A and B are shown apart, each in its own frame.
Chain A
């Protein structure tokens, strides 16, 4: 979003806060793409991102009357959207935990192996949680073979640094090299 567009979004948002309904559609159309992109980058899932973007936009426009005219509209909207994404992610996480608890315990000859696998995944996720968002993004993108925002040498360096920090976190947490 360039500076001019952001300026006009501020003006439109101020008008909407005052009750000028004629700008509603314009505000909606300007906010939807960046909010959707933010949701996608935070949730990494198209369906969840669409849900979060809808929820976020509803909250943003419900609170339009609270918008402070002296501040830029986009960061204000992003803050609300980020909070919505966080709430949705937690909800999804809880639901997954519950469904995991609900699934049958591993049975048969692979019981031991499955339990070890599950513990390893948990341990890896904990170590991953110790890293910065950038490092996490670089590793997740590598794992899923996603195209990152950077490529070539920069991506390689970023990945190497992230892996080094993951190893350090692993060592710190579990005392293993």
Chain B
């Protein structure tokens, strides 16, 4: 069929392929919106939590849409991020978060949650061949998900989460660098 312009058809089909991937990614990552909605309902600063939730959702959708290796980081990243999220939300609600009391309970909860998330991501990453393409997206998602809860005490909660996460991740990174050097 010589009259058929294959380049034009290919371009059109490619566009439909990308739309289909985006649709799947939006549907596949929709449960995170439920998690974000729960976090917003329990948060002390709903607007900040909503912003972080939206960021986590968009980041996850982009990863799923892009596919390949980074796609495999989505579930572990969200699962790891749930640890600091749940810990910080529990700390906020079980312990009446006011003034210094909040700093004494929420910030450590975020740091411990971050540490556990970092260890979890590090353990999974060490079992994978494509380490960087896993570590970066999984860490991004874990931190964004965890930050939805840790934002309850402002920047200090988020910093506590990030420090704890980095500490959890450190052994794997050090081992990786050492192996490369040796």
Taken together as a complex, chains A and B put the C-alpha atoms of A36 and B16 apart, in Å, by 19
Which residues of B are found within 8 Å of A25, using beta-carbon distances? 10
Known: A19-B66, A65-B20. A36 touches B13 (CB 8 A): no
Convert A15-50 into 0s and 1s, putting 1 for each residue whose CB lies closer than 8 angstroms to a CB of B: 000111000110011001000100000000010011
Which residues of A are found within 8 Å of B6, using beta-carbon distances? 28-29, 32
Of the listed stretches A54-62, A93-101, A114-122, A158-166, name the one at the interface; the rest are far from the partner chain.
Answer: A54-62
Which residues of A are found within 8 Å of B38, using beta-carbon distances? none
Interface residues of B in 61-87 (CB under 8 A from A): 65-68, 71
Contacting residue for B1 out of A28, A36, A57, CB 8 A: A36
How far in angstroms is the closest Cβ of chain A from B124? 19
Measured CB to CB, the nearest residue on chain A to B8 is: A54
Convert B1-45 into 0s and 1s, putting 1 for each residue whose CB lies closer than 8 angstroms to a CB of A: 101101001101110110111001000000000000000000000
Q: A50 contacts B1, CB within 8 Å?
A: yes
A63 contacts partner chain B, Cβ-Cβ < 8 Å: yes
Q: A65 contacts B21, CB within 8 Å?
A: yes
Which residues of B are found within 8 Å of A36, using beta-carbon distances? 1
Q: A62 contacts B20, CB within 8 Å?
A: yes
Q: B68 contacts A20, CB within 8 Å?
A: yes
Q: B4 contacts A50, CB within 8 Å?
A: yes
How many residues of chain A are within 8 Å of chain B by beta carbon?
Answer: 20
Contacting residue for A19 out of B10, B12, B13, B67, CB 8 A: B67
The 8 closest A-B pairs by CB, nearest first: A19-B67, A62-B20, A61-B17, A19-B68, A28-B10, A58-B13, A58-B16, A61-B13
B residues contacting A by CB (< 8 A) are 1, 3-4, 6, 9-10, 12-14, 16-17, 19-21, 24, 65-68, 71
A residues contacting B by CB (< 8 A) are 18-20, 24-25, 28-29, 32, 36, 46, 49-50, 54, 57-58, 61-65
A-B contact pairs, 21 of them (CB 8 A): A19-B68, A24-B14, A24-B17, A28-B6, A28-B10, A28-B13, A28-B14, A36-B1, A46-B1, A49-B1, A50-B4, A54-B9, A57-B9, A57-B13, A58-B12, A61-B13, A61-B16, A62-B16, A62-B17, A65-B24, A65-B67
